[in-house]
Structure 1
Amino acid sequence: MTSSFVPPHTAPAPAHAPWSPRMWGLLVVLAGNMLIDALEVSVALVALPTIGTDLGASLTTTQWTITGFAVGFGGLMLFGARVVALLGRRRVYLAALLGFAVASLIGALAEDPSLLTATRVVKGFCAALTAPTGLAIIATTFPEGTPRNRALSVYTLFGAGGFTTGLLLSGWLTGFSWRLTFAFPAPAVLVLFVLGLRLIPGSTQGGAERPGGGTAQPPSGAARRRYGFASAVAFLVALLALVQGITSVPAHGWVDLRSTGLLVLTGVLLSLFVALERASAEPLVRFAALRSGAMIRSALGATCLNGSYLGLLFIAGHQLQSLAGWSPLRTAAAFLPAAAPLVVAAPYSGRIVARFGAPRLIAAGALLPFAGYLLYLRTPWPLAYATGILPTMLLVGAGFVLSFAALNSQATSQLPPVERGAASGLYQTGVQVGATLSVALVAALLTAWTPPAGAVPAEIAAACRPALTVVTAIGGLGLLTALTGLRFRRMGPH
């Protein structure tokens, strides 16, 4: 699977040649879109309480603005890779940009939470198409060596900075209207689309390249077999049913089809997904990757890191805005110490991993957030920023600095090069599923233990404790997984 960008009637530039304006423009498109993909979660986090008030929605409903995006991203990432392989990078990337812009506008105008959720799932799917494709375009367009490393550094930096940018923008824009937080990506993405029409290179994926551009597609019947529609639908609906089942328990209890029935349906659909994949000649999932201990430990560690992090911010956003009356901008500023350190450290992450080794960094990066969650769990109400919130955010931010790149590096380190692309998609799917489960669980627990009107500080703290305990437990599982990795490292490669 290769594609290369070669300006008309020119040969590829040697590695030491300066970049042309067109190469810089391509990097602006790819990195700019990565920035927008990365900020989609953080803009929703800060706006959640305002959305709930405006639409008259509960926590278990508004949480879909986060989990909907994660479900679309993680649930359809493997399917998205197949779509790109069959249709070609250029056409899929451009179509995803348009879809993202349209979904942003519709979401900003939504008066019904269900429509807002649907747009979030669509935007997640569009991100699943563009984020890995952007990396592939860089890998096959920029010359190997310093030019490609520089391009990857810029791409990574923009991705790391997206979450922080989203916090700041959402904190500011939500003060005017939460709808602006969902509308503002649309014009930016449309600008990237116009630039991409000229700059994104064609691809030989999905059929033979035609002289005038585009690709010759396989027969429709073959295409239907190769896309894996049935597997993709089964997995996506299973995740949707899982989230809805979890968040329905507070309202309907365990003995109800609207909660337990959906959880049972989840198990049936996941079993169907595995059966379809094992029976397929061209499955979406390469199960061979799951034989790698490093892959499993990295995926579980990243799932716990991301899931506990988003769960904590979900709880803190609810506490600070809905219970303590903080403004969106003040809340966003409170979260910055957890997000900003990764932006500063991102350009040096490769050197840090090479210097200290992935297993050690992963263990340290799991220990620090876990300590932060324990501290936050013991912080009395009303929350004190200097002694409770700030230390926790700093510990979580330090954990991401140490382990984020190390987890990505370790995930595919023991796999043959030919399997690493598919394994990376499986790894990212796990990370997004972790975010989905964590946010759904804490939303359900916060709803089940809502403090009564006029509650005293002790009652407010007690109402939030079950959700915080779950976040702490997820962080503890991540630490246990990391320590297991250290044990295997001492015993030798596995």
Structure 2
Amino acid sequence: MLFVLCGAIFLEGIDVAMLNVALPSIRADLGMSTGELQWVMSAYVVGYGGFMLLGGRAADLFGRRRMFLLWLTVFLLFSGLGGFAEDGNTLIVARFVTGVAAAFMTPAGLSIITTGFAEGPQRDRALLVYSGTAAGGFSIGLVVGGLLTSADWRWVFFAPVVLSFLILVAALALIPKSERPDRTGQRVDVLGALTVTGAIVLLVFAVERAAHTGVGQTLGTLAAGFALLIVFVLTERRAAAPLVRLGIFRSGPLVRANLAALLFSGGFFGFQFIAVLYLQELRGWSTVQTSLALLVIGIDAALSPTLTPRLVNRFGNARVIFGGLVLAVLSYALFLPVGDDWTYAAMFPSLITLGLAFSLAYGPLTIVATEGIDEEEQGLAGGLLYTSFQFGAALGLSTVTAVNVAATAEGGSAKALLDGYHAALLVPLIAAALAALISAFGLRDRPGATADDAQRTAPVAAEGAAESAETAEAAR
């Protein structure tokens, strides 16, 4: 089961990474403007971030396996449609629906893990393997995308179709069936679903377009998004069966994990965006050279299931998360003075430190965000976390783009480009520092969750063994 679910999250990671590399070729072939090309990425983020909460709740209400299989099929079909697209509008629609499919598929897969493995060391191990696979998909996608694009950019869409089909066949055989959820008295909160989805779509839309539209339009979109968010909160307070039970936010670890995930994701994606621009625009590196240069960040794919579990067992999730975020701050600080003649050896310490930071922060954040949450709300907890990651990515990309554009002088000289990069690199540095500050409040939590769990469950296990012995004696 874990193998199948890791394949699905690997698919989502590799799909996004390959498309990043293929964008210039897509624009050249379809004759898209810069604004239209930006929407090839933005449509996916809007669909993913906008429908994530609804997807998480749907998994809890209608069955996790059912939702996973259904939306994996939709992902397969519309990824293929993107490969056959002959114009920009078709491609944008295909990417939007693919993002919506991922918004339903991903929290369903995560909640299958969190309900299929007992809370404690076993679940933690599974989640760390799962998060490491997601990171590996993104890293490998950078290289595979470059190779496929060199042949034809359409293979960037056809390759996920083949992988999706294999995962779907394996999922039908390996993910166990479960009883249909009891929805007695749990009506679908239609108004809550519409308002929160509309609010998140508008907020993500405003953030994504902030660097490309006027201030008035951006503020108007943000105001509309916040207005819908207020309506959503009021609706949930009165609903008999709310889409999002507001009491879930009383969990301090869950709130800290989501805020830290939002900021960490924003810094991580913003940094990679600027690094790609620096390597390709200023240094003139090819797509494949850039992909190989950033591949070292993918070290987290190896460290997440190996090193991170040991550190979590010894120091606890809160301390490992804090350490990872401090390393992220160090990574961005090391890259901040980048020059127009830096060798790869000069960039390497920053890149490998970022890979280590990701391996320490991402998996434990997933654990903390779902730990202690009732089984019937695991889909919701997963939806909240991935919403934070996606909204953080949109926020980080838009902010670094806006700062970069504002700080780059006209003329396009090497110095002007470098000044813009230096200013934009402050954004991920500040975001990581804020995430570290927020996570520091969790250091007061118990340091050894695994050890505590073992101590807490030992008396229960002993009692169960005693009862079994008495039963056996009575039978004799």
Match for residue 262 of structure 1?
A: 221
Match for residue 391 of structure 1?
A: 349
Asked if 2 retains the 8 angstrom alpha-carbon contact of 1:63 and 1:443, the reply is no
Match for residue 146 of structure 2?
A: 171
**AA partner of residue 76 (structure 1):** F
1:425 equivalent in alignment to 2:400 = no
State the 1:437 CA deviation.
1.3
Pick which of 407-416 and 366-375 moved more: 407-416
Q: Helix, strand or coil for the counterpart of 1:184?
A: helix
Asked if 1 retains the 8 angstrom alpha-carbon contact of 2:325 and 2:436, the reply is yes
1:240 equivalent in alignment to 2:196 = no
Pick which of 302-311 and 459-468 moved more: 459-468
Cα displacement string for residues 351-397 of structure 1 (whole angstroms, at most 9, x for unaligned residues): 3211122222222211111122122222122443221x322211211
State the 1:77 CA deviation.
2.4
Asked if 2 retains the 8 angstrom alpha-carbon contact of 1:174 and 1:328, the reply is no
1:228 equivalent in alignment to 2:189 = yes
**AA partner of residue 416 (structure 2):** E
Asked if 2 retains the 8 angstrom alpha-carbon contact of 1:84 and 1:205, the reply is no
State the 1:156 CA deviation.
5.0
State the 1:433 CA deviation.
1.5
Q: Helix, strand or coil for the counterpart of 1:261?
A: helix
Asked if 1 retains the 8 angstrom alpha-carbon contact of 2:62 and 2:181, the reply is yes
**Residues 62 and 469 of structure 1: CA distance in aligned 2, closer, same or farther (over 3 Å):** farther
Q: Which has the higher helix share?
A: 2
State the 1:141 CA deviation.
6.5
1:458 equivalent in alignment to 2:431 = no
- For residues 136 and 41 of structure 2, the distance between their equivalents in structure 1, rounded to whole angstroms, comes to 18
Q: Helix, strand or coil for the counterpart of 2:177?
A: coil
Match for residue 210 of structure 1?
A: none
Asked if 2 retains the 8 angstrom alpha-carbon contact of 1:31 and 1:155, the reply is yes
Match for residue 19 of structure 1?
A: none
Normalised TM-score (structure 1): 0.79
**Residues 326 and 54 of structure 1: CA distance in aligned 2, closer, same or farther (over 3 Å):** farther
- For residues 71 and 259 of structure 2, the distance between their equivalents in structure 1, rounded to whole angstroms, comes to 29
Match for residue 314 of structure 2?
A: 355
- For residues 114 and 236 of structure 1, the distance between their equivalents in structure 2, rounded to whole angstroms, comes to 23
Q: 1:404 aligns with which of 344, 362, 376?
A: 362
Equivalent residue runs for 1:283-294 within 5 Å: 283-294=242-253
**Residues 339 and 157 of structure 1: CA distance in aligned 2, closer, same or farther (over 3 Å):** closer
**Residues 482 and 191 of structure 1: CA distance in aligned 2, closer, same or farther (over 3 Å):** closer
**AA partner of residue 428 (structure 1):** Y
Q: Helix, strand or coil for the counterpart of 1:378?
A: coil
**Residues 488 and 31 of structure 1: CA distance in aligned 2, closer, same or farther (over 3 Å):** closer
State the 1:98 CA deviation.
1.6
**AA partner of residue 471 (structure 1):** P
Q: 1:281 aligns with which of 236, 240, 243?
A: 240
- For residues 202 and 360 of structure 1, the distance between their equivalents in structure 2, rounded to whole angstroms, comes to 37
- For residues 147 and 250 of structure 2, the distance between their equivalents in structure 1, rounded to whole angstroms, comes to 46
Q: 2:178 aligns with which of 203, 206, 223?
A: 203
CA RMSD, 1 decimal: 3.3
**Residues 294 and 247 of structure 1: CA distance in aligned 2, closer, same or farther (over 3 Å):** closer
State the 1:308 CA deviation.
0.7
- For residues 139 and 293 of structure 1, the distance between their equivalents in structure 2, rounded to whole angstroms, comes to 19
**Residues 100 and 416 of structure 1: CA distance in aligned 2, closer, same or farther (over 3 Å):** closer
Percentage of matched positions with identical amino acids? 36
**Residues 489 and 84 of structure 1: CA distance in aligned 2, closer, same or farther (over 3 Å):** closer
1:471 equivalent in alignment to 2:428 = yes
Cα displacement string for residues 147-189 of structure 1 (whole angstroms, at most 9, x for unaligned residues): 9888767655533422222122112112223332122101221
Q: 2:93 aligns with which of 118, 124, 132?
A: 118
**Residues 441 and 51 of structure 1: CA distance in aligned 2, closer, same or farther (over 3 Å):** farther
**AA partner of residue 406 (structure 1):** P
1:181 equivalent in alignment to 2:156 = yes
**Residues 192 and 130 of structure 1: CA distance in aligned 2, closer, same or farther (over 3 Å):** same
**Residues 27 and 363 of structure 1: CA distance in aligned 2, closer, same or farther (over 3 Å):** closer
State the 1:61 CA deviation.
4.8
Pick which of 299-308 and 422-431 moved more: 422-431
Structure 1 runs not aligned, ≥5 long: 1-25, 208-216
Normalised TM-score (structure 2): 0.82
1:96 equivalent in alignment to 2:87 = no
Cα displacement string for residues 306-338 of structure 1 (whole angstroms, at most 9, x for unaligned residues): 221111111222232244332221111111111
Pick which of 187-196 and 62-71 moved more: 62-71
Cα displacement string for residues 70-91 of structure 1 (whole angstroms, at most 9, x for unaligned residues): 4333332221233334433343
Q: 2:230 aligns with which of 271, 285, 295?
A: 271
State the 1:142 CA deviation.
7.9
**AA partner of residue 231 (structure 1):** G
Q: Helix, strand or coil for the counterpart of 1:76?
A: helix
Structure 2 runs not aligned, ≥5 long: 448-476
State the 1:420 CA deviation.
5.3
Q: Helix, strand or coil for the counterpart of 1:317?
A: helix
Q: 1:48 aligns with which of 15, 18, 23?
A: 23
**Residues 249 and 86 of structure 1: CA distance in aligned 2, closer, same or farther (over 3 Å):** closer
Residue-pair matches, total: 447
Asked if 2 retains the 8 angstrom alpha-carbon contact of 1:175 and 1:327, the reply is no
- For residues 98 and 305 of structure 1, the distance between their equivalents in structure 2, rounded to whole angstroms, comes to 31
State the 1:251 CA deviation.
4.6
Match for residue 295 of structure 2?
A: 336
**Residues 91 and 416 of structure 1: CA distance in aligned 2, closer, same or farther (over 3 Å):** closer
Match for residue 305 of structure 2?
A: 346
**Residues 479 and 148 of structure 1: CA distance in aligned 2, closer, same or farther (over 3 Å):** closer
- For residues 69 and 155 of structure 2, the distance between their equivalents in structure 1, rounded to whole angstroms, comes to 24
**Residues 50 and 374 of structure 1: CA distance in aligned 2, closer, same or farther (over 3 Å):** farther
1:309 equivalent in alignment to 2:271 = no
Match for residue 14 of structure 1?
A: none
- For residues 123 and 432 of structure 2, the distance between their equivalents in structure 1, rounded to whole angstroms, comes to 35
- For residues 244 and 114 of structure 1, the distance between their equivalents in structure 2, rounded to whole angstroms, comes to 17
Match for residue 438 of structure 1?
A: 396
